[in-house]
């Protein structure tokens, strides 16, 4: 099986397993998605989804968010970790949205990445999931699976994103990045990995990965 065949197999298998693709983070609009994605850095979606209802009950828009102090925000979001940086980022970006963007989340990578605490991955998630602009955010699951499948060298998430965009059709990026995340959680976790259940890696995985697991 050459690389093109492996890519084709992966796309088809993921589509078969995940014909409908839920977005992991609970939200109701682009602003609440932006905040949820920011909170998810070095945390889990499950933890974030436990915290955001409390935060959004107080403030689910920039106007209400800046009425809260940074300390008040921090007190609510403490369980997700990195609360000092995240609370400042949420308060600061809410001010900027009101001052520069009419209270709306901007629909460009450049404008999003200019916001406090918003990096390329967060911007990519918002562009893909809120505005349906093709993007390929790379989280730990995608980074791990792209290496195991022999689609990237695993050296950096930047390289993994480049490789994913080069290998996969642009019109499938938004679906694929979510499908790979769900697949990674269900079939190919970092811990407790059972290769016998991981049909994609078992079929197309790089030889060094398969050899290490006696397959």
Q: How confident is the model at residue 149 (pLDDT cuts 50, 70, 90)?
A: very high
User: What is the DSSP-derived secondary structure letter of residue 105?
Assistant: P
Helix (H, G, I), strand (E, B) or coil at 13: helix
Question: Above 80 in pLDDT, residue 215?
Answer: no
Coil, helix or strand at residue 43: coil
Ordered structural domains, the chain, with CATH:
3-21+137-212 (1.10.1670.10), 30-129 (1.10.340.30)
Catalytic amino acids?
121, 139
The Cα 214–Cα 26 span in angstroms is 39
pLDDT at 208: 82
Query: What is the pLDDT, as a whole number, of residue 164?
Result: 98
Token pair for 129: 């999931």
Question: Sorting pLDDT into bands at 50, 70 and 90, what band is 143?
Answer: very high
Nearest 5°: the CA angle 198, 204, 205 is: 70
- Any idea of the CA torsion for 97, 134, 184, 8, to the nearest 10 degrees? 180
Q: What is the pLDDT of residues 4-57, one digit of tens each?
A: 999 999 999 999 999 999 999 999 999 999 999 999 999 999 999 999 999 999
């Amino acid at each position: 099986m050459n690389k093109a065949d492996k890519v084709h197999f992966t796309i088809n298998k993921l589509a078969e397993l995940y014909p409908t693709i839920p977005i992991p983070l609970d939200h109701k609009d682009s602003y609440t998605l932006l905040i949820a994605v920011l909170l998810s850095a070095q945390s889990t979606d499950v933890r974030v989804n436990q915290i955001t209802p409390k935060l959004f009950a107080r403030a689910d828009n920039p106007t209400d968010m800046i009425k809260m102090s940074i300390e008040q925000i921090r007190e609510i979001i403490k369980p997700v970790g990195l609360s000092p940086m995240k609370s400042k980022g949420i308060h600061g970006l809410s001010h900027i949205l009101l001052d520069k963007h009419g209270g709306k989340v901007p629909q460009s990578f450049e404008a999003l990445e200019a916001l406090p605490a918003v990096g390329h991955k967060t911007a990519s998630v918002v562009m893909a999931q809120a505005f349906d602009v093709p993007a390929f955010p790379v989280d730990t699951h995608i980074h791990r699976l792209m290496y195991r499948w022999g689609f990237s060298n695993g050296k950096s998430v930047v390289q993994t994103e480049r490789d994913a965009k080069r290998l996969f059709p642009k019109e499938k990026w938004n679906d694929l990045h979510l499908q790979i995340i769900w697949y990674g959680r269900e079939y190919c976790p970092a811990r407790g990995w059972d290769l016998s259940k991981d049909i994609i890696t078992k079929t197309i995985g790089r030889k060094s990965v398969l050899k290490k697991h006696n397959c």
